[in-house]
DNA sequence: GTAATGTTTTACCAATCGGTCAAATTATCG
DNA sequence: CGATAATTTGACCGATTGGTAAAACATTAC
């Protein structure tokens, strides 16, 4: 007799752990490239190499898979911002924040796209977490940046829009990858674009375009 | 006898024009917030205030609606970049390019999201146009920027990544609107964030953060 | 070993999907 | 007006959707 799904006993089986991981991995593939509504359980099941009812034995609904995936991504996605250190050197902190976000765009593009898909569609599943934990974290770091400006270590600027711009420019290389590749052409087929981007962004944030009057 | 659908006679009826417009308008709403696969003909039909078969009288397939929408958006979306003038003053040109892109994000967020959705899902319908016309346009403008750098009017930098970063930072305010609003909180409920963003981006691109060594 | 539990499969369901068809209705034009 | 063409509707289709029921099968604990 099976009272399954998150098991009667609190303990999770080895098989449970393995299969759940495989499902989440497959679901990340599917959700990140088709969005929630555009993805089907069958696609995920096939990608995970199991039958649909078997998949539904581990996750009761499509939403349950998605929610767990989103929760994970949301957490790891904010790691770099959490690491932002008020005591550190402004230049080094901003530089390393940009670098880390860019590395994440390079190494975890699916996670970035999953998140982008969710936000694009109005964040129906995570609005609360955006207005709560996310906002609080950004508020905190914005205050750090403001303090740096007050101390004269950095030009005064809107810290929120600074953070937005770093998010936008770095995640762009994951979310709009197809476009970036199309525009750069195949001559730059490798991962060189990430190094070029890093160089460019570093220069942009450190010095701007340094436009000289004629 | 109806041989309808893009009409037997070359001329388009008044009704045809009106209804097609209404359908495209409704489809923009639906596609931009649910993506292609996530949207249904029924949703579009309802939003357009007509029955599904009636809608399908004007557009044979769901894809046909989507294609026409994408084509339109792709064209108008590149207007600002096309206006980028080689003969103009670098500072004024870049400044006005940023301003125009930001205005488009503010005034046509659905169009931006439609495009973002398409790219996010791998641009299955427009890969050719990205690799063709889009790439050519960007190549041309990149050369303009390079010429400015050679002439010493602007710091040397990778022109492609400069363009990417302007795209990313401006479209962010349309595509990630929900997130931006959530983080800024409701105190900034109005459209003030666009003015703040404009100020910030102008400063960023003109001077960078002007970080001073301790 | 065997009994209890955990896992997988087969067969299935109602709802929704994109799309068709033919008949009914409305607009246009001489 | 009448006729012809354009538009709209309701009824329908096969395929796919998210999800279920129950029995077959495998694993674990004793």
- Which chain A residues are within 8 Å of B105, Cβ to Cβ? none
Chain B residues touching A137 at Cβ < 8 A = none
pLDDT above 80: residue A1: no
Does the structure show a pLDDT above 90 at B176?
yes
* A42 CB neighbours strand D below 7 A: yes
Q: Is the CB of B8 under 7 A from strand D?
A: yes
The distance (Å) linking the CA of B128 with the C1' of D7 is 36
Distance from CA of A67 to the nearest CA of B (A): 17
Decide if pLDDT at B211 tops 80.
no
- HEC string of A79-136 equals HHHHHCCCCCCHHHHHHHHHHHHHHHHHHCHHHHHHHHHHHHCCCCCCHHHHHHHHHH
Instruction: Give contacts of B204 with chain A, Cβ < 8 Å.
Output: 157, 162, 165, 204-205, 208
Residues B110-159 have pLDDT tens digits of 999 999 999 999 998 899 999 999 999 999 999 999 999 898 888 889 99
Q: Which residue is nearest to nucleotide D8 (CA to C1')?
A: B54
Kindly tell me if the per-residue pLDDT of A212 is higher than 70. no
Per cent of chain A over pLDDT 90 is 75
Helix axes B14-38, B62-83, angle to 10 degrees: 90
* CA separation for the pair A104, A117 (Å, rounded): 17
- Weakest mean pLDDT among A12-21, A83-92, A198-207, B107-116: A12-21
> Cα separation of B135 and A184, whole Å?
7
Q: Does the C-beta of A39 come within 7 A of strand D?
A: yes
* DSSP, res B11: S
DSSP state of A8: S
Please give the residue that has the higher pLDDT: either B206 or B39.
B39
* Selected residue with higher pLDDT from B54 and A212: B54
Confidence band for B80, pLDDT divided at 50, 70 and 90 = very high
Q: Two tokens at A169?
A: 């420019």
Here the tokens at position B51 are 């029955």
Token pair 């967020």 is found at B109
**CA B169 – CA A207 distance, rounded (Å):** 17
What domains does chain A contain, in order, with CATH numbers?
A: 14-70 (1.10.10.60), 78-207 (1.10.357.10)
- Rounded to an integer, the average pLDDT of A199-206 is 93
Higher per-residue confidence, A142 vs A1: A142
**Residue B107: band (very low, low, confident or very high) from pLDDT cuts 50, 70, 90:** very high
Rounded Cα gap, residues A69 and A111, in angstroms: 9
CA-nearest residue to A198 within chain B is B161
pLDDT the model gives residue B210: 53
Q: Can you give the pLDDT at residue A94?
A: 92
B19 touches strand D (CB under 7 A): yes
Dihedral of CA B54/B59/B61/B63: which sign? negative
Cβ separation of A210 and B155 shorter than 8 Å? yes
Q: Tokens 């962004």, residue?
A: A201
Calpha distance A35→A31 (Å, rounded): 5
Q: Tens digit of pLDDT for each residue in A27-69?
A: 999 999 999 999 999 999 999 999 999 999 999 999 999 999 9
Indicate whether A86 pLDDT > 90: no
Q: pLDDT for A105-145, tens place per residue?
A: 999 999 999 999 999 999 988 999 999 999 999 999 999 99
What's the pLDDT at A4? 47
Residues in contact with strand C, defined as Cβ under 7 Å from any of its atoms: A 1-4, 7-9, 13, 15-16, 19, 50-54, 57; B 2, 13-15, 39-43, 52-53, 56, 60-63
pLDDT classification of B208: cutoffs 50, 70, 90: low
Other C-beta atoms lying within 10 Å of the C-beta of residue B56:
18
The answer to whether A37 contacts B37, with C-beta atoms less than 8 Å apart, is yes
Residue B203 with chain A: CB contacts under 8 Å: 155, 157, 208
**A-interface mutation test, from B89, B120, B166, most A Cβ less than 10 A away:** B120
CA–CA separation, A161 and B102 (whole Å) = 13
How far is residue B10's CA from residue A4's CA, in Å, rounded to a whole number? 63
Taking alpha carbons only, the member of B118, B127, B29 closest to residue A33 is B118
């Amino acid at each position: 007799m099976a009272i399954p799904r998150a098991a009667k006993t609190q303990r999770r089986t080895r098989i449970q752990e393995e299969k759940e991981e495989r499902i989440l991995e497959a679901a990340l593939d599917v959700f990140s490239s088709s969005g929630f509504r555009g993805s089907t359980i069958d696609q995920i099941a096939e990608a995970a190499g199991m039958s649909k009812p078997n998949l539904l034995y581990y996750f009761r609904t499509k939403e349950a898979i998605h929610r767990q995936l989103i929760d994970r991504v949301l957490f790891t996605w904010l790691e770099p911002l959490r690491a932002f250190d008020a005591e550190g050197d402004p230049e080094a902190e901003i530089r390393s924040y940009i670098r880390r976000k860019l590395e994440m765009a390079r190494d975890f593009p699916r996670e970035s796209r999953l998140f982008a898909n969710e936000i694009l569609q109005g964040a129906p599943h995570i609005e609360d977490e955006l207005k709560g934990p996310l906002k609080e974290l950004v508020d905190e770091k914005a205050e750090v940046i403001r303090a740096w400006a007050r101390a004269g270590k950095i030009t005064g600027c809107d810290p929120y829009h600074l953070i937005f711009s770093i998010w936008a420019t770095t995640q762009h290389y994951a979310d709009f990858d197809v476009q970036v590749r199309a525009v750069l052409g195949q001559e730059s087929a490798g991962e060189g674009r990430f190094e070029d981007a890093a160089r460019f962004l570093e220069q942009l944030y450190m010095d701007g375009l340094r436009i000289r009057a004629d």
